[in-house]
Amino acid sequence: MSATAPTFLPLYRQIRDLILRSLEAGEWRPGAAIPSELELAARFRVSQGTVRKAIAELAGENLLLRRQGRGTFVATHSELRQQFRFLRIVPDEGAPEPYESRASECRRARASVEAARLLELKPGDGVVCIRRVLRFGGAPIVLEEITLPGSMFKGLSAAKLGKHAGSIYHLYETEFGTPMIRADEKLRAAAADAGAAQALGVVAGTPLLSVERVAFTYGDRPVEWRRGLYRTDKHYYRNVLT
């Protein structure tokens, strides 16, 4: 009952993989333009149409961004429009608001068995643990604990987190060369414990939305494990099913 191996790999998919390899290798940085379609066609000795189809796939996976008349760009978390790509919380009333992040903790630790399993590390490997609160309109709405492989995030500190503007994924990609491209989330309801209640300004036992996430970089390599607790009395988690 093994999965059938692909008996045929179209040319455009091979080109796609070559471009992907260049992205992984950092040949073009996030936000930068990649060569034009005609240049890539010449480089790979294929027609422009084949390159177009390869790029279209990568754009569909949000790894590239096409802009007519300007070029094709490596996806980045630096733009405001990307701010809420991975953060699906929305206020009941009004438009999505900018948030403010306050990291209360950023320490080195040893990977738990669970962290090791999810991040494909060995138990005991070094990790970075971040604890932070996201505030919307001044109010604490999200409490998060983030776990990262220590080896990939060597210089990460509370100071660096505080100094950095924009989303933490922007920090990952600019300071540590690790763009996040996909994430799996598990959502549950949970009662606030004493710590969460205090951080979010609710009474203990209040139902909170628990969002557990593993985020991946190129090659489906897991890089970040986080657990968020969301207040959902004035906000909700938006999802679109298609």
- Provide the binding-site residues for DNA, judged by CB under 7 A: 7-8, 10-13, 34, 36-39, 46-50, 52-53, 66-72
Which of the ranges 32-40, 121-129, 138-146, 230-238 carries the binding residues for a copy of itself, by CB under 8 A?
230-238
Q: What are phi and psi of 207, to 5 degrees?
A: -65, 130
State the nearest-atom distance from the C-beta of 69 to DNA, in Å: 2
Looking at the Cβ atoms of 61 and 100, the one nearer to a copy of itself is 61
Residue 129 interacting partner from a copy of itself, DNA, none (CB closer than 5 to 8 Å by kind): none
CB atoms within 10 A of CB 101: 18
User: Which of a copy of itself, DNA, none interacts with 38 (beta carbon under 5 to 8 A by kind)?
Assistant: DNA
Q: Looking at residues 129 to 168 of the shown chain, list those that interact with a copy of itself (rule: CB under 8 A).
A: none
Do residues 125 and 115 lie in contact, with contact meaning Cβ atoms separated by under 8 Å? Answer: no
Interface pattern 164-203 for a copy of itself (x via CB under 8 A): -----------------xxxxxxxxxxx------------
Binding at 66: pick from DNA, a copy of itself, none (beta carbon under 5-8 Å per type): DNA
Number of Cβ within 10 Å of residue 108's Cβ equals 12
CB of 4 to a copy of itself, least distance (A): 14
Q: Which is nearer to DNA, 33 or 194 (CB)?
A: 33
Helix, strand, or coil (residue 218):
helix
Q: Are strands 221-230 and 207-217 parallel, antiparallel or unpaired?
A: antiparallel
Q: Name which of a copy of itself, DNA, none residue 13 binds, using a CB cut-off of 5 to 8 Å depending on partner kind.
A: DNA
Residue 37's binding partner among DNA, a copy of itself, none (Cβ under 5 to 8 angstroms by kind) is: DNA
Copy the structure tokens of residue 203: 């009474």
CA-to-CA distance for 30 and 48, rounded, in angstroms?
A: 23
Contacts of 8 (CB under 8 A, 6+ apart): none
Q: In one letter, which amino acid is 80?
A: L
Residue (69 or 138) nearer to DNA, CB = 69
Counting contacts by CB under 8 A, is residue 238 touching a copy of itself? yes
Q: At what angle do helices 11-24 and 37-44 cross, to 10 degrees?
A: 110
**Residue closer to a copy of itself (CB basis): 25 or 241:** 241
**Beta strand extents in 157-197 (DSSP E only):** 182-191
- Distances from the Cα of 31 to the Cα of 9, 158, 165, angstroms: 30, 26, 16
- From CA 38, how far away is CA 51, in angstroms rounded? 8
Which amino acid makes up residue 33? Answer: A
CB of 165 to a copy of itself, least distance (A): 22
Q: Which residues form the interface with a copy of itself (CB under 8 A)?
A: 61-62, 85-86, 88, 181-191, 205, 207-210, 212-213, 230, 232, 236-242
